[in-house]
Structures are given as C-alpha cells and as structure tokens.
Amino acid sequence: MIVPKHIRDKMSPEDRARYEAAEIAAGERYIATNERQEQKILNNWLNLQLTERKLWPINPRSDKASTIRVGHPDYTIFLAKGRLLLMEMKVEGGVLSQEQLTAIGILSELGHEVAIPASAYEAINLVKKFL
C-alpha cells in the first residue's frame, strides 16, 4: 500500500522509517523478480540456439548459491570462431554491486567487454548480432 506524502508527513519518525524501509524492500523484491523473469525468457531463447549448435551459454542458477566467482557476469556465451560474449542482466532500477563492478573492470582490463542489457529483448538482439 502506498501512503500519500501528506499522511506520511504526519507519521512518527519511527513509523515513517519502518514504512520507508518496507517500501524500499518491496521495490528491491520487484526488481529481483523482474530480473529473474527476463532471465528466464533469455534462457529459453538461448537454449533454442544451443539445440541448433549456434552457441554455448553458461548461466548460473539464480535460485541456488553459486560456486562461480562472486561478481562474474550472469551470462558467458561462447560463439563460433572463438568469440565470447559476457552479459550482466540489469533491469530498470537494478544496481551493479561492488563485486560486479570489480569483475567488469578486471574483465575489461583483460580485453573482454561486458554488455549490460536491461531486458531479454535487448539481450537477444545483442546475441543475434554475434550469430
């Protein structure tokens, strides 16, 4: 429930802080859910390309603790002719963690670009450019 500003202004500082914390948490849950949905769409499309032997995607499961290095991009996609595509999905409102920023920086220093698509549609179109 969204509390209008004129009512929020009348809340005690403690109640306002609790409400605002709950509002932030709800926004973070929405972003995480939206990102998982976009990844599911992308994963389905990538799996179709895999069956046609056009690429080899690696994407750690988002529902389990990963054994991949913290901060590594969501997708490592091996393409024909020794090409590699790295992508970190971040939907609108999503924020890169410090570990992700560090990983992107190191990968960049090593000569690997990390794309940051905001949707499955954007990611699919990016991969299509490489196929």
The DSSP annotation for 6-67 comes to HHHTTS-HHHHHHHHHHHHHHHHHHHHHHHHHHHHHHHHHHHHHHHTTSEEEE---SSS---
Average pLDDT of 78-107? Answer: 95
Total tally of structural domains belonging to the chain: 1
For the chain, give the percent of residues with pLDDT over 90. 61
CATH number at residue 54: 3.40.1350.10
Q: What is the DSSP letter of 84?
A: E
Residues near 62 by beta carbon (within 8 Å), at least 6 away in sequence: 36, 39
Q: What is the pLDDT of residues 20-55, one digit of tens each?
A: 666 766 667 767 788 899 999 999 999 999 999 999
**Residue 19 domain boundaries:** 5-130
Q: Is the pLDDT of residue 13 over 90?
A: no
Q: What are phi and psi of 57, to 5 degrees?
A: -90, 145
Lowest mean pLDDT among 2-6, 40-44, 120-124: 2-6
State the pTM of this model.
0.78
